[in-house]
Amino acid sequence: MQKVTILGSTGTIGQQTLDVIARHPDRFQAYALAAHSNVQALYKQCLTYNPRYAVLLDEAAAVELRQLIKTSTINTEVLSGMQGLEAVSSMGEVDVVMAAIVGAAGLKPALAAAYAGKRILLANKETLVMGGSLFMQAVKEGGASLLPIDSEHNAIFQVMPAKQHASLHDGGVRKIILTASGGPFRTYSKTQLKQVTTELALKHPNWVMGAKITVDSATLMNKGLEVIEAHWLFNAKPEQIDVVVHPQSVIHSMVEYVDGSVLAQLGNPDMRTPIAYALGYPERIEAGVSSLNLIQIATLQFEQPDTERFPCLQLAYDALELGGTAATILNAANEVAVSAFLNKAIHFLDIPHLIADALTEIATEDVTSLEHLIEVDAISRTYAHAWLSKSPKMKVLTA
């Protein structure tokens, strides 16, 4: 019986992880569930799965959850704050940690799991985007195993050479090809993009995801962050990572080998597939996902991404080339910009403008420590908030 900690259990990935776990009660136990502040959702999960621990990052929310649990028949202990997240990520009883907390808050508990030698199912992009060098070193030092949950990186992991090599070329790999759906505005002109609303941005054509990642998909920043992740996960140089727009989201990513072979992983757009793959690895286990019907799909399309209409993708490549703290600056500025867009304080086209200004104005430094990254993250957020304070609401950028 493998005991699983789910960081971000009330989010989309967390819920889908619990769905897969429930299909295999003889193999997996939801040992610890953690969320930010959603008391009611976490309480319902506790009633259903009776975990040993529940954690809320928000202290006041944790107090409320303790009171609710006292009135129930379950025996779940409630922890709180970052200390609680790190504790359930590194406990000796825990075998697997699903790292699915959105944003920079997921970095510390993921590092704790790495140093504790856990099997980490990584769904938190910021862990590698912000602290790639630190995290990969922690995985090595702690003897942890790392399995990516993003459908694209999970697909690459599935079709990469079984044996690890010092470089892609040594493994016979020419390049990695990340597929992107193109988001809801793939066919929009620049003029149409000026009319984008928050409601439209949250209507992804293929995937059911949280608000932040859905907006990132609409701007193509999600794919840009995945480029940075792929660099760390597969020791790939920027020029060895391509992005292709594939609207059907059936091919989740591809690996091109030096002999001209291209291996792809296909499947219906359902995150339970990569979750089940990672939970059961190296075995394959039932995920509850329907079979792929290629006859029904009939046609697969591929397009070159347009970085003029969607500059966030190029900004991510730029940050990767700059190295050091550039990706931390990019990530922090993007989080602030997306939050402002979701709150209808800025326009969709302001998002890349803010990020570009942050990358230009904030000096890039070599990464020295986790504390250094946290400091740069705070500086970047302060800059982004100052940028917002000087910008009129719903500013529309001119062409």
Q: What is the pLDDT tens value at each position of the chain, 399 positions in all?
A: 999 999 999 999 999 999 999 999 999 999 999 999 999 999 999 999 999 999 999 999 999 999 999 999 999 999 999 999 999 999 999 999 999 987 778 889 999 999 999 999 999 888 899 899 999 999 999 999 999 999 999 999 999 998 777 789 888 999 999 999 998 899 999 999 999 988 888 876 665 667 888 899 899 999 999 999 999 999 999 999 999 999 998 999 999 999 999 999 999 989 999 999 999 999 999 999 999 999 998 899 999 999 999 999 999 999 999 999 999 999 999 999 999 999 999 999 999 999 999 999 999 999 999 899 999 999 999 999 999 998 765 444 433
pLDDT of residue 396: 43
Residue identified by tokens 């660099």 is 231
- Predicted TM-score of the model (pTM): 0.90
Q: For the chain, percent helix, then strand, then coil, each to nearest 5?
A: 50, 15, 35
Tell me what pLDDT residue 397 has.
41
CA dihedral for 232, 236, 240, 244, sign (positive or negative): negative
Q: Do residues 111 and 135 touch, judged by C-beta distance below 8 A?
A: yes
How far apart (Å, rounded) are the C-alpha atoms in residues 399 and 336? 23
pLDDT of 36? 92
Q: Using omega within 30 degrees of 0 as the cis cutoff, is the peptide bond preceding 161 cis?
A: no
Query: Residue 204: its pLDDT value, please?
Result: 67
Q: What is the pLDDT of residue 206?
A: 63
pLDDT of amino acid 200? 86
The full set of domains in the chain, from first to last, is: 2-148 (3.40.50.720), 156-297 (no CATH), 323-389 (1.10.1740.10)
Q: Which residue has the tokens 């002999």?
A: 259
Residue 316 to residues 221, 252, 262, 307, 375, Cα–Cα distance (Å) = 7, 20, 25, 11, 20
C-alpha dihedral (117, 118, 121, 125), degrees to nearest 10 = -50
pLDDT at 392: 62
The burial class, CB within 10 Å (0-12 / 13-18 / 19+), for 239 is: exposed
Centroid of chain to Cα 258:
29
Side-chain half-sphere exposure of 260, counting CA atoms within 13 A = 0
Separation of alpha carbons 393 and 308, rounded Å: 24
Cβ count near 307 (within 10 Å): 17
Enter the tokens of residue 197.
Answer: 């609303």
Rg for the chain, CA atoms, rounded:
21
